[in-house]
Structure 1
Amino acid sequence: MIKRIDTYIVTDGNGQEAVNFYKNVFDAELVSLKLRGEMVPDCSEDRKHLVLNAQLVFDGLCLQISDENPDYTYQAGKNVVPTLIVDSVEMAKKLYAALSVDAKEIFMELQETFWTPAYANLVDKFGVVWQISAEVAES
């Protein structure tokens, strides 16, 4: 089942500033802030300050923020992404299979990452950038 659709904002190297700005704008609770330097092994010094993922919660909503991966070019207009948070790898596979039909671009095929058992990032046939992420309870 789809648990929720979060809004994901991708910033251009100023993620920590954006986190503080939106935290104040929405009077949000900062639930999580993970910097690239804390999470990525052998992270270079010039990338350690970049936000890998931050989560702000307010009014029952979740706003996620990260800096663009420095290996990619930041693109304004493609920096606000609906993110499907699902409760199983099976649902992630189903949504990925459907959204990837005639996809314009697949940034990351559905795969396990260090933060989730199933994650994908793609541009569907209508030019909408989507993220899919399984949020599975640990047993």
Structure 2
Amino acid sequence: MAINLNVYLVTNGNGREAVEFYKEAFGAEVLAMQTFGEGPSSPDHPIPPEAKDWIMHASLQIGSSVLMLSDTLPGMPHTVGDNITVTVNTDTAEQAKDIFSKLEVGGKVNMPIQETFWSPAYGNVTDKFGVQFQISATPGQA
């Protein structure tokens, strides 16, 4: 059973600047960077033209750790204090669902665990201690 934990930062439209800042500060390698404009479109959450270059997801290798970040989804509030989460990456959807179901006890489900275009099981939950977790099955990457 492979599980990885990473820090996930949420920026407010300045994600590209943050990627460059952390790349320079830590001598990091950018592993991935995708903009909202590159992702699939959704009529429920249209991306305004000025946000198409905002970062939907980026990851940087810093030593043996991975720092992940994204800009706040356009139209959603950006709350300092809620802008740092812990990501939990598992090998299987079953493992992700099991961890999610345990973390949600006494907590709050922000996004139910479900299949997404990037994961067979992804969900967001705040546990009973107020810690926000993003749970994601990433087969072969955990």
Q: How far does residue 21 in structure 1 lie from its aligned partner after superposition?
A: 0.4
**TM-aligned CA deviation for residue 80 of structure 1:** 1.1
Alpha-carbon offset, residue 40 of structure 1: 3.0
Please state how far the C-alpha of 1:44 moved relative to its aligned partner.
Answer: 2.9
**Alignment correspondent of 2:14:** 14
C-alpha distance in 2 between matches for 1:14 and 1:31: 18
Secondary structure of the corresponding residue to residue 113 of structure 2: strand
Separation of aligned partners in 2, 1:22 and 1:40: 27
Aligned identity (percent) is 39
One-letter amino acid matched to 2:109: I
Q: Do the aligned partners of 1:2 and 1:91 also contact (CA within 8 Å) in 2?
A: no
CA distance in 1, matches of 2:28, 2:140: 24
Partner of 1:31: 31
| 1:55 equivalent among 53, 59, 78 | 59
2:121 match: 118
Deviation (angstroms), 1:2: 4.1
CA RMSD in angstroms, aligned pairs only: 1.5
Q: Is the 8 A contact 1:120 1:131 kept in 2?
A: yes
What is the aligned partner in structure 1 of residue 112 from structure 2?
109
**Helix, strand or coil for the counterpart of 2:21?**
helix
1:137 counterpart = 2:132: no
Residue 72 of structure 1, CA deviation: 1.9
Distance 2:85 2:2 in 1: 16
* TM superposition score normalised by structure 1: 0.92
Answering whether residue 92 of structure 2 is matched by residue 88 of structure 1, we say yes
Q: Which amino acid aligns with 2:132?
A: V
Q: Give 5+ residue unaligned stretches, structure 2.
A: none
- Equivalent residues of 1:2, 1:84 under 8 A apart: no
Number of residue-to-residue matches in the alignment: 137
What's the offset of the Cα at 1:96? Answer: 0.6
**Which residue matches 1:76?**
80
Aligned to 1:97: 101
* CA 1:106–1:72: 2 relative to 1, 3 Å: farther
Measured after TM superposition, the shift of residue 117 of structure 1 is 0.7
Alpha-carbon contact 2:33-2:59 (below 8 Å) kept: yes
Alpha-carbon distance in 1 for matches of 2:130, 2:82: 9
- Aligned to 1:57, the other structure's residue is in SS state strand
